[in-house]
Structure 1
């Protein structure tokens, strides 16, 4: 009469479950020991009972076997991980592609394209964005112009100062010399004092002091 096949499921009776655990544990350890002897394999077995009791078997050193297992696990390539990373990368790429497409669409709408499908509320929002962008452009251009004006004013002040210094140096050079020169005016030789002529010329030279009118930093622009 054939033995009745036991259905694999949890045994409800605690006593029967403990008896089955003890019997099958001994059989499992025996099979592990036979496998290590027959096949010259390093076999290690770790079992925790339902109550947390530890049962183990090792054909050699348990510590050495566990160390070899950890090293082997770290070196083994996992084919599933690259697939997951590739899938995540594809999903992120697709998401970024959609975002770029949406931004290009918004940019074209701000240029006046693809406005047919927009309702009044969306058109008003687009108008507010354009007004805000225009205000920012005006403010940026204002700041750039003021910066250029101030730069030119500083440059002008340096040149005026330099011209005054040169004029003063020329006066000192003329006053330090005493030579006269002879010039021919309408055929008559006349002796002119070079010192006096040059001083008169220098006195008549005017240094431009015209300045760029100051710009009011709080100047207002008509609102768009």
Structure 2
């Protein structure tokens, strides 16, 4: 027959309770040792008997393991508190932005002349001042834009005048250049070559004949 299931309750017999404690304690210490060796884990085990006797096991050092546990435990709590605080702050920011958005929407509708019925005299006066301020800024901006456009037109006018003067000067120079006569050509038709008294102006062959005729007459 197999072993029956042990009922988990306090053992009333003192001697039996002490025997069971010793057996189970040794088994628990053995399991803790095996876990640290097989899994390379840091294990600390602290046991106090009903009589107040201390039994402990640690894979490295009980104090170091407890210090690590304390830092991790309180660090986790601080991390959770920080997360909760950030979530709370984010939720408050969302609510504040939502309220601001709704207020801006109401202001926009009021400036457009909508939903003015529930407003009192003071709120209407505030809207009136806002409209007057916006109108004043619009006028100032309009004047500035017009002045800038006038300056641009004046600059364009000056550039066109300068360009007109340059073109006029170029046309005058071209007209003067075309009216000036060029150098005379010695081969032009209608020109006459004056003969020299000594016959040097006569062509070579005719000049020789003239000399012979003069010799015959002498």
TM-score normalised by the chain length of structure 2: 0.50
What is the CA deviation profile of residues 100-140 of structure 1, one whole-angstrom value per residue up to 9, with x for unaligned ones? 11011011101101101111121112111111110110010
Name which structure has the greater RCO, CA cutoff 8 Å, separation 6+.
1
Report the counterpart of residue 57 of structure 2 in structure 1. Answer: 39
**Counterpart mapping for 1:48-67 below 5 A:** none
SS at match of 1:113: coil
In 2: Cα distance, 1:81 partner to 1:138 partner:
52
In 2: Cα distance, 1:147 partner to 1:70 partner:
72
SS at match of 2:139: helix
Equivalent pairs counted in the alignment come to: 128
Say yes or no: does 1:165 pair with 2:166: yes
In 1: Cα distance, 2:160 partner to 2:170 partner:
15
Report the counterpart of residue 130 of structure 1 in structure 2. Answer: 131
**Cα distance, 1:69–1:167 mapped onto 2, change above 3 Å:** farther
SS at match of 1:97: helix
Report the counterpart of residue 120 of structure 2 in structure 1. Answer: 119
In 2: Cα distance, 1:123 partner to 1:75 partner:
56
Q: Which ranges of structure 1 fall in alignment gaps of 5 or more residues?
A: 1-30, 45-61, 181-224
Report the counterpart of residue 108 of structure 1 in structure 2. Answer: 109
Hey, which bits of structure 1, 4+ residues long, moved more than 4 A?
68-77
Determine which structure has more spread, i.e. the larger CA radius of gyration: 2
What is the CA deviation profile of residues 164-218 of structure 1, one whole-angstrom value per residue up to 9, with x for unaligned ones? 11110111111111389xxxxxxxxxxxxxxxxxxxxxxxxxxxxxxxxxxxxxx
* Greater strand share, structure number: 1
Give 1:160 deviation, angstroms. Answer: 0.9
* Greater helix share, structure number: 2
SS at match of 2:179: coil
Report the counterpart of residue 94 of structure 2 in structure 1. Answer: 93
In 1: Cα distance, 2:70 partner to 2:179 partner:
104
In 2: Cα distance, 1:71 partner to 1:167 partner:
93
**Cα distance, 1:83–1:168 mapped onto 2, change above 3 Å:** same
**Cα distance, 1:73–1:165 mapped onto 2, change above 3 Å:** farther
In 2: Cα distance, 1:82 partner to 1:163 partner:
76
- Superposition CA RMSD, Å: 3.0
